[in-house]
Amino acid sequence: MRVFLIAVLVVALLAGGLLYLPDRSGPKEEDQELSIASVTAWNMVPREFQSRVNALGTLRAWESVDITPSVAETIVELHFHDGEAVNKQRRLVTLQQDEEQAGLREGQEMLKEQQREVARLENLARNNQVALTELDQRKTLVEIARIRIERTRAGIEDRTIRAPFAGVLGLRQVSVGALIKPGEVITTLDDISRMRLDFSVPATYLRFLELGQSIAAHSTAYEQTFEGVLTAIGSRVDPATRTVIGRASLDNPLGLLKPGLLMQVVLKGEQRQTLLAPEESLVSRSTTHYVWRIRGDTAERVVVEIGGRKPGWVEIVSGLEAGDKIVRDGVSHLRGNSASIAIVES
């Protein structure tokens, strides 16, 4: 009886084990269908494209300077008003110069006296009544008198402050009677007939920058677009931001643009034929970009180099060729370096 019970127990255990043995007959047809991703496709053929680079920039005056004196002196007269437009060499400020003016008159009288003495000695020299060395000494004194006059006039000019170029003055910072020193700002002067627009561009877009390239600039201050031309490209890339400075010039005949104004900049390249991929087909990991290229019923991951962008599209510079077909929708379902796919729409 005991032997019989043991035999029955063994048979029961074996039967139970068979029930829980894994099915090694291979994947079912339903599982195979689930592993095939449904995607849409895009044909890579050359299309019209105009590269656009967007950037932020700051306006600067074409010429800009702080009006300051070169000598320490008292202000006698101011010849300008706040915000006034002035021409080149317009007198702006007169500093105390009474001593210099007196020195100029004295020098002029001394010059006349020395010139009269030279004329007298020349008459005597014709009759050999005076030594030539004495005549030469008097001529030297004439030149010294002229040099002193020039130096005095330079001192007067230092005390007469003029506009170095035509432009618009800023706000007055001083008053008549104030003692002003070199470096202290009297006012500012800006030539805003044209403007410089400096903007930062990622170094990856360097190949799209060309001197003479047209740019469009817009500010929230005005409901209009200002056209300009790229005139210079910085010689260095900032190692911290990996950007390069571009500079454009903009005409400003109405004086609407002001130095310091923030501008949104768009640089437009020439129209060209290139390969464009939908943005949704591109997968980016840090600085690496790739797409899924279709080969029959398989999609393989391919690293690509991208160029310019426009809304919804990205330029493919290398990694694909005309005639290739890539996955457009459904890239989020693809894993690894290759995957089985079923194209549901092209």
Was domain 69-95+160-185 assigned CATH 1.10.8.60? no
Rg (the chain; Cα; Å): 42
Cα atoms in the Cβ-side hemisphere of radius 13 Å centred on 132:
1
Q: Which is more confidently placed, 251 or 205? A: 251
Please give the model's pTM, rounded to 2 decimal places: 0.67
Helix (H) or strand (E) holding 46: strand 46-67
Q: Which of 308, 303, 276, 307 is nearest to 288 (CA)?
A: 303
How much is the pLDDT for 12? 52
Region for residue 215 given its phi and psi (left: phi exceeds 0; alpha: psi -120 to 50; beta: otherwise): beta
**Taking 60 as the threshold, does the pLDDT of residue 114 lie above it?**
yes
Q: What is the pLDDT of residues 152-205, one digit of tens each?
A: 998 899 999 999 999 999 999 999 999 999 999 999 999 999 999 999 998 878
Hey, what CATH topology would domain 32-49+273-345 get?
Answer: 2.40.420
Q: What are the beta bridge partners of residue 91?
A: 162
Residues 6+ apart with CB under 8 A from 71: 95, 155, 158, 159, 182
**Taking 60 as the threshold, does the pLDDT of residue 23 lie above it?**
no
Average the pLDDT over 210-237 and give the result.
93
Is 105 buried (19+), middle (13-18) or exposed (0-12) by CB count in 10 A? exposed
For the domain spanning 97-158, the CATH number is 1.10.287
**Sorting pLDDT into bands at 50, 70 and 90, what band is 138?**
confident
Residue 193 CA to residue 253 CA, distance in Å, equals: 6
Cα atoms in the Cβ-side hemisphere of radius 13 Å centred on 74:
6
Task: Give φ, ψ of 329 to 5 degrees.
Answer: -110, 140
Q: Which is more confidently placed, 76 or 138? A: 76
**Taking 90 as the threshold, does the pLDDT of residue 19 lie above it?**
no
How much is the pLDDT for 2? 52
Hey, what CATH topology would domain 54-62+194-271 get?
Answer: Elongation Factor Tu (Ef-tu); domain 3 (2.40.30)
Residue 237 CA to residue 258 CA, distance in Å, equals: 27
Q: Which of 255, 262, 195 is nearest to 61 (CA)?
A: 195
Region for residue 202 given its phi and psi (left: phi exceeds 0; alpha: psi -120 to 50; beta: otherwise): beta
User: Where do the domains of the chain lie?
Assistant: 32-49+273-345, 54-62+194-271, 69-95+160-185, 97-158
Q: Which of 154, 159, 206 is nearest to 182 (CA)?
A: 159
Q: What is the pLDDT of residues 267-297, one digit of tens each?
A: 887 778 889 999 999 999 888 999 999 998 8
**Taking 60 as the threshold, does the pLDDT of residue 10 lie above it?**
no
